[in-house]
Amino acid sequence: MREVRTSPPSFPEAVENQLLTPQDNERWQVLCGDADHWRLGIYSPEVGSADDIEELEWHDCPELFMLMNGRVSLLLRDENGERTVELEPNKPIHVTCYHAGFCPDGPFTGQALVIERDAFNTIYKRRDEF
């Protein structure tokens, strides 16, 4: 287990009032935010199945995921054990438990929009630590 603290401002300076262009083949990229409030990023998992996931993360605040393109699934772990949720277009999911993602069609083949706070703690645990 390891812990990481994210502190504001935790996002790059973004060009205002213009389209932002995410990079291809990046697992996680924060695009913009509002200091001390929220930040927005694009998540594109680098693994293609739940079996490839070795570590789950948990934040001390909720996150919102919404599918942008391709296919992205989240492996969620709570008091009931593990389960997989495949994201659907225009249907956000409010995540409060341990989680990690994968792209069923292969690494970086899907992207999800993620909104989270600008400051939070994250605990990472290997799946065999539960």
Q: What is the pLDDT of residues 22-43, one digit of tens each?
A: 999 999 999 999 999 999 999 9
Range of the domain at 54: 2-15+23-129
pLDDT band with cut points at 50, 70 and 90 for residue 9: confident
Q: What is the pTM of this model?
A: 0.94
Say how many C-beta atoms besides its own lie within 10 A of residue 78's C-beta: 12
Give 47-58 pLDDT, tens digit per residue: 999 999 999 999
Averaged pLDDT for residues 54-77: 98
Number of domains within the chain: 1
Q: What is the spatial order of strands in the sheet that 73-78 belongs to?
A: 2-6, 120-126, 55-59, 98-102, 73-78, 81-86
CATH number of the domain bearing residue 76: 2.60.120.10
Mean of all residue pLDDT scores within the chain: 96
Strands 120-126 and 63-69: unpaired
